Structure 1
Amino acid sequence: MSQSMPWLMRDIRRARKQDTAAVARRRGDRLADLVAHARSASPYYRELYRDVPERVEDPRVLPVTDKKQLMDHFDDWATDRDITLEKVRAFTDDPDMIGRRFLGRYLVATTSGTSGRRGMFVLDDRYMDVSSAVSSRILGSWLGPLGIARAVLRGGRFAQLVATEGHYVGFAGYCRLKGESAVRGKLVRAFSVHEPMSRLVAELNRYRPAFVIGYASTVMLLTAEQEAGRLRIDPVLIEPAGETMSAGDTERIAKAFGTQVRTMYSATECTYLSHGCAEGWYHVNDDWAVLEPVDADHRPTPPGEFSHTVLISNLANRVQPFLRYDLGDSVMVRPDPCPCGAASPAIRVQGRAGDILTFPSGRGEDVRLAPLAFSSLFDRMPGVELFQIEQTAPSTLRVRLVEAPGADAESVWRRAHEGLTRLLADNKLDDVTVERGEEPPQQAAGGKYRTVVPLAD
């Protein structure tokens, strides 16, 4: 089932004008259609749903899935039977293929996520079009006519702060946009979060973006540069994403840049999951997504209480359906209507906080590195199944690894040590010691692995 972008934009506008009951019916129809498609075209879902009713409009009757289960059944999960894990791995191992069409049809995105375990996902055009349409609608609602006019006067340029050394969804989507739309591609530029801060600041000063979108931890590092006067940009909107932020963080960003700040809570598995409002809540885009806060037994968590985890259903991606997918975050649904006036469910997120590591430089200023710099390094490193980096002293990092089956532990450690040493040297941190932890990565409360653990206060 394919819809054009104009159809999607009109459909999203219609949904905004409908009451919650009408949106629920629309969501139920889309869920029923996707479940039927998954059961007919995916051997994995056919077996998983063998005892599920014929028509499903309520996700709670479905079994729960997660990244490990789907990756373990990768070849049977896909509804396009040409897709195999071997083909996707070969594709993602080639950096020249970032943003290109896998099998001539799909976008491939990789992620390590908060678990540190690599995921490889195949995304179809319908998913990408829904994501673009939802994002366009949200951007318009955030800015209003006056804000849009201000953005146009400033050139309308978007700066995306992304990991540029892997098939991450932000960079892969950017590369595809550049390759397939020359006009839109001119208005968007990717900036690597791996760049030394001084170089990133200089490039942004030259580019002068109207919009800054990127990882929250990197945005916070840039906020300090703006406060110090080294960064001198005046965007109309800053959109931190991917990591949880406090109200104090967003207020600091807004003050430093003199601009509007809006956040998003999303994932590679559902990039359009929610959007932030002026009251500091995330609103679920519930005509195309389902979000279920649940306890440890996957029973619904009451509004006003933080959940053990959260299940999401992406109602757009049909090539690898994400249905009742355990995202691993703790969220709370607002028990009363949000003062912003939006009728869609409003949530707060307790998980996915970005932890920045701070190192003494000996030159009078501390050096800070965002966690993405480390996760992207290990994500593209062969032989790493799971990793964790803990700052055990101001200038000491302890690295814990779980090697992939069949990988040589000494070779994996050598690559890890060399990669980390190079990353630190690029940021003038040659005196930081990298230790090998013989113990496995340590789980936090709730069973999650923090990939980056800062020095304890």
Structure 2
Amino acid sequence: MLSRQRAELQSMLRHAVHSSPYYRDTIGAPVARGAPLEDFPALTKRVLMENFDRIVTDTRLNRRQVEQHLDGDNPGGLLLGEFNVAATGGTTGERGITAFDRAAWLAAIATMLRFQRIVGIDETTRSMAVFASSPIHISHRIGAELRAIRPNAPGLNVLMPIETIVETLNAYQPQVISTYPSFVRVLAAEQQAGRLRIKPRLIRTSAETLTQDVRNIAAETWQSTVADSYVCTEAGPMGHECLCADGLHLAEDAFVFEVVDADNRPLRNGIEGAKLLVTTLTNRIVPLVRYEISDIVTMATEPCSCGLPFWRIASITGRREEMLRFPRRGGGTVNVHAHRLRSPLTSSAGVRQFQFAPLREGLEIRVSVFPGVDADAVSRKIEDAVRTTLTAVDAQPSSILVKVVDAIERSGSGAKEKLVTAPATRLPDES
């Protein structure tokens, strides 16, 4: 497989240099001399957007045309009758677009179907998804393709009224549900309240960082296994857990993955990186060479016991944009990833949703609570628990504000819940 990957990589690089003015200028020389991939420059989302017209290899396509199609009346339809296009704001809030021709799109769907097979999902499985509402988002588009082989599967999205979702799930009785980790909490709360009455054997998650507490919630509520998947709008489906749930198997015959440090230097397996660089091997319309994804990733050091040949991501801590900075006891600053602060909130009874917003030398924590909960008591418990967690890593924020809100809205075309966002309020001495 790795031999095939190397051959496909060289073919893709030659194609990119031949057909893309951008790649001709940026990697033409290293490709000609057979330089290793790590010598090539990385491609950020900003650079992709600024140079889209020079990166795309079909001269009929350009950024303005793709954006106009996505902003039109039928964004889920084929552009020029043959291109699937999609957009993302992602966790970074920076817009990105991409296009797939028929061959690239079929390769993406085939990769997803192959991954589903490894967790026991086929065309006879009562499987359904609850993801994005917008057809410009790739999860919506993949869901539409997968419903085509399950014509009775209902089409739901996370922005529908929860009453509608509950009623539909009760009627369909899915064996497998695919959704965001944050929405697993919502469904579990409905099940525990007695309104939702389903018995899924498997929960598939995607698009948000999956944490152990969500696995625990699914196990306690439905006795279900959770299998995480790894999808990037610009690249397509890239990885999936097997039923061992011990890391994400990567589609190494369709991509090259590099865990790198802040200077884009590859790191050994087992070492946490600053970001992930992905090179696509199947999309020749918008080739991505060392495309930067800001996930903080660690690769596995041992093969999976399931026997699959694909190597694995052992863990994804979260996004680089979810790192919070606080004053350090004794001077200086300390970085704390927002996921470290999740446990005090997930272990607090009555908390329904939560979100962090950095303040100057402080932190605002927004929470929504279930009806009948003493919001003041929950707020005090959260503040004390978060302070304790931060103190353990020598972080000393000047203030922690817990703000109770009615609901935390989902954002972007993917309708995801952002873990970290900009503050809605400021401390009195902030400008």
Query: Do both proteins adopt the same fold according to a TM-score greater than 0.5, normalized to the shorter chain?
Result: yes
- Are positions 1:230 and 2:208 aligned together? no
Q: 200, 204, 213: which one pairs with 2:165?
A: 200
Secondary structure at 2:231 match in 1: coil
- Partners of 1:213 and 1:142 in 2: how far apart? 12
Aligned length: 353
Give 1:282 shift.
Answer: 1.1
- Partners of 2:167 and 2:374 in 1: how far apart? 18
Checking the alignment, whether the CA contact within 8 Å between 1:29 and 1:57 is kept in structure 2 is no
- Partners of 1:104 and 1:43 in 2: how far apart? 25
Instruction: Evaluate the alpha carbon distance shift between residue 142 and residue 287 of structure 1 in structure 2; reply closer, same or farther with a 3 A threshold.
Output: same
Instruction: Evaluate the alpha carbon distance shift between residue 186 and residue 75 of structure 1 in structure 2; reply closer, same or farther with a 3 A threshold.
Output: same
Give 1:175 shift.
Answer: 4.4
Can you give the 5+ residue segments of structure 1 that lack an aligned partner in the other structure?
1-22, 380-387, 400-434, 440-457
Q: 83, 87, 92: which one pairs with 2:70?
A: 92
Checking the alignment, whether the CA contact within 8 Å between 1:99 and 1:175 is kept in structure 2 is no
What is the CA deviation profile of residues 227-269 of structure 1, one whole-angstrom value per residue up to 9, with x for unaligned ones? 2222112223210111121233213213312333211122112
Checking the alignment, whether the CA contact within 8 Å between 1:171 and 1:190 is kept in structure 2 is no
- Are positions 1:252 and 2:221 aligned together? no
Give 1:55 shift.
Answer: 7.3
AA aligned to 2:70 is T
Residue pairs, 1:261-340, within 5 angstroms: 261-277=226-242, 278-340=244-306
- Which residue in 1 is equivalent to 2:12? 34
AA aligned to 2:140 is F
- Which residue in 1 is equivalent to 2:311? 345
Instruction: Evaluate the alpha carbon distance shift between residue 167 and residue 132 of structure 1 in structure 2; reply closer, same or farther with a 3 A threshold.
Output: same
Give 1:193 shift.
Answer: 0.9
- Which residue in 2 is equivalent to 1:123? 100
- Are positions 1:112 and 2:77 aligned together? no
Checking the alignment, whether the CA contact within 8 Å between 1:262 and 1:276 is kept in structure 2 is yes
- Which residue in 1 is equivalent to 2:334? none
- Partners of 2:239 and 2:134 in 1: how far apart? 26
Residue pairs, 1:131-146, within 5 angstroms: 131-143=108-120
- Which residue in 2 is equivalent to 1:16? none
- Partners of 2:111 and 2:145 in 1: how far apart? 18
How big is the alpha-carbon RMSD for the aligned residues of Structure 1 and Structure 2? Answer: 3.0
Secondary structure at 1:301 match in 2: coil
Q: 405, 413, 421: which one pairs with 1:376?
A: 413
Give 1:158 shift.
Answer: 2.9
Secondary structure at 1:229 match in 2: coil
Checking the alignment, whether the CA contact within 8 Å between 2:259 and 2:277 is kept in structure 1 is yes
- Partners of 1:102 and 1:30 in 2: how far apart? 27
What is the CA deviation profile of residues 177-232 of structure 1, one whole-angstrom value per residue up to 9, with x for unaligned ones? 67xx5xx2614433121123233222222232232112221122212222222211
- Partners of 1:166 and 1:102 in 2: how far apart? 13
Secondary structure at 1:320 match in 2: coil
- Which residue in 1 is equivalent to 2:181? 216
Instruction: Evaluate the alpha carbon distance shift between residue 299 and residue 32 of structure 1 in structure 2; reply closer, same or farther with a 3 A threshold.
Output: same
Secondary structure at 2:256 match in 1: strand
Give 1:56 shift.
Answer: 5.3
Residue pairs, 1:167-206, within 5 angstroms: 167-175=136-144, 181=148, 184=149, 186-206=151-171
- Partners of 2:189 and 2:252 in 1: how far apart? 35
Secondary structure at 1:351 match in 2: strand
- Which residue in 2 is equivalent to 1:159? 128
Give 1:70 shift.
Answer: 0.7
Give 1:319 shift.
Answer: 0.7
Can you give the 5+ residue segments of structure 2 that lack an aligned partner in the other structure?
323-338, 343-352, 355-366, 376-404
- Partners of 1:304 and 1:66 in 2: how far apart? 24
What is the CA deviation profile of residues 74-108 of structure 1, one whole-angstrom value per residue up to 9, with x for unaligned ones? 111110111111111211112x3132101111111
- Partners of 1:341 and 1:369 in 2: how far apart? 43
**Structure 2 length-normalised TM:** 0.74
- Which residue in 2 is equivalent to 1:359? 368
More divergent stretch after superposition (160-169 vs 284-293) = 160-169
AA aligned to 1:299 is R
Checking the alignment, whether the CA contact within 8 Å between 1:222 and 1:231 is kept in structure 2 is yes
Pick the structure with more helix per residue.
1
- Partners of 1:321 and 1:240 in 2: how far apart? 27
- Partners of 1:56 and 1:160 in 2: how far apart? 44
Checking the alignment, whether the CA contact within 8 Å between 2:22 and 2:54 is kept in structure 1 is yes
Checking the alignment, whether the CA contact within 8 Å between 1:266 and 1:273 is kept in structure 2 is yes
- Partners of 2:105 and 2:406 in 1: how far apart? 33
Give 1:141 shift.
Answer: 2.1
Checking the alignment, whether the CA contact within 8 Å between 1:221 and 1:368 is kept in structure 2 is no
What is the CA deviation profile of residues 298-324 of structure 1, one whole-angstrom value per residue up to 9, with x for unaligned ones? 111222221011101121111111111
Checking the alignment, whether the CA contact within 8 Å between 1:291 and 1:310 is kept in structure 2 is yes
Checking the alignment, whether the CA contact within 8 Å between 1:193 and 1:218 is kept in structure 2 is yes
AA aligned to 1:40 is H
AA aligned to 2:317 is Q
Give 1:364 shift.
Answer: 4.4
- Partners of 1:365 and 1:272 in 2: how far apart? 42
AA aligned to 1:350 is T
- Partners of 2:413 and 2:196 in 1: how far apart? 25
- Partners of 2:166 and 2:281 in 1: how far apart? 38
Give 1:125 shift.
Answer: 2.1
- Are positions 1:44 and 2:22 aligned together? yes
**Structure 1 length-normalised TM:** 0.70
Secondary structure at 1:108 match in 2: strand
